[in-house]
Amino acid sequence: TMERQMDQLVTLVNDLIDVSRITRGKLQLRLTPCRFADIVRSATEASLPGITDAGHEFEVSVPDKEIHLQADPHRLAQVISNLLNNAAKYTPRGGTIRLAAEVEHDSLAVRVEDTGKGIPSGMLDRIFEMFAQIDSPSDHGGLGIGLTLVKSLVLMHAGSVRAESAGPGKGSTFHLRLPIIASALTQAPSHSTTGNGHHGSVKRVLIVDDNTDAAEVLAMAVSLMGHKVATAENGQVALDLAPDFRPDVVFMDLGMPVMDGWEAAKKMRAQPGNESIRLVALTGWGQDGDRARTRAAGFDQHLVKPADPEALRRVLLESAS
C-alpha cells in the first residue's frame, strides 16, 4: 500500500541520518537501566505489521525472568526491529520469522531467524557494510543501510553481532550478544568465576586517542563492562594523567599530535610503578611492520580499529592474570 511504502521511505531516511550521525560521532546513546521485555515489545510492535502483511508466521521465545540491560531502549528496539524487518523482507511469502533470547553467563544472546533466501558464504562478513547487497534477480531492492546501523548501534552498546546462513535458499540467523547489568546476575553467579576474584575485577582503563568521538565511544563500551575509564587526547596528556589515575590497561592510538603512541608507550613504561601496566596499541595500522614497531616500543598487544568488543573483553580479562 501507499501508506506502507511511505513508512518504508521514512524509515530509510531516518536510518541514513542515524548512520551519518554515527560516522561523524554525533549520535549519543541515552543509557538507562531497562527491561529487555519492554525492548522486545517495542520492536515487535513496530515490525509486526510488515511481518503479517507478508503472510509470515512469527514466533517469539524469550526468558520468563526479568532481564535488565544498561542500554538506550529506543536504539536497542531499533536494532531488533531492523533485524525483524530485514527477515520479513528477504523471506518469500508464508515463511517463518523467529525471535529468541537466552542468558549465557554475563550476557544476553538474542537470535533473529528466518526461512528466507539465505546469504552466500562470501557475503557473511560483508553483510553489515554500508550499501552491501546480496546479488539477486528478485525484486528485493534496497540500499543495505539497516544492517550497517544495526552493527554500529550494537557496538556502541559494547555488544557484538554476526550473521549465519547455510547458503542461498537456506534461511539466515542473526546473533546478537549484549552485556547484562551485573546486579541482575546476582541470583545466579557464573560458574566460570575464578576463586581469586580476578574474573570480575574492576580495571582502571586509560583510553588515548586524538579522535575524541572514537575515544568516547570506546570509553562508553569499557564502562558498560563495569570498568573505570579516563581518556586523553594525546600521549603527553596520557603521561600527565597516568601517575594519579594509575591505569591497569591503556588502549593507545599511534598517530597523534604533540606526542605519538610509540613515544608515549616507551615513556609510560619507564615511569615508576608502571612495569605491570598492560599497553595495547589500538590503531588503524595493522601491517606486520606496524606490529613489530609497537612491540619494540613496549606494547603488549596490537589491535586494529574498529576493535571487536569480544577482543576488548579478552584484553581486560587477561590483564588480571
27-to-19, 34, 173, 318 alpha-carbon distances in Å: 9, 20, 28, 31
Q: Find all residues with CB under 8 Å of 38, minimum gap 6, and list them.
A: 73
Residue 285 has pLDDT above 90, yes or no: no
pLDDT of residue 235: 94
Name which residue leads in pLDDT, 169 or 106: 169
18-75: pLDDT as tens digits? 666 766 667 778 888 999 999 999 999 989 988 999 999 999 999 888 899 989 998 9
Residue 191's contacts (CB-CB under 8 Å, 6 or more residues apart) are none
Does residue 111 carry a pLDDT above 80? yes
Query: In the chain, what are the domains?
Result: 7-179 (3.30.565.10), 204-317 (3.40.50.2300)
Whether the predicted pLDDT of 138 surpasses 90: no
pLDDT at 294 (0 to 100): 92
247-274, pLDDT tens digit by residue? 999 999 998 999 999 999 999 999 888 8
Q: ∠ CA 284-288-294 to the nearest 5 degrees?
A: 70
Q: Which amino acid would we find at residue 257?
A: P
Are the C-beta atoms of residues 206 and 264 closer than 8 Å to each other?
no
Q: What is the pTM of this model?
A: 0.55
- 3-class SS string, the chain: CHHHHHHHHHHHHHHHHHHHHHHCCCCCCCCEEEEHHHHHHHHHHHHHHHHHHCCCEEEEECCCCCCEEEECHHHHHHHHHHHHHHHHHCCCCCCEEEEEEEEECCEEEEEEEECCCCCCHHHCCCCCCCCCCCCCCCCCCCCCCHHHHHHHHHHHCCCEEEEECCCCCCCEEEEEEEECCHHHHCCCCCCCCCCCCHHHCCCEEEEECCCHHHHHHHHHHHHHCCCEEEEECCHHHHHHHHHHHCCCEEEECCCCCCCCHHHHHHHHHHCCCCCCCEEEEEECCCCHHHHHHHHHHCCCEEEECCCCHHHHHHHHHHCCC
Reported as a pLDDT band with limits 50, 70 and 90, residue 142 is: very low
Query: Residues 170-214: pLDDT tens digits?
Result: 999 999 999 987 544 433 333 332 222 233 578 899 999 998 777
pLDDT tens digit string along 115-134?
999 999 988 888 887 655 55
Please state, rounded to an integer, the average pLDDT across all residues of the chain.
82
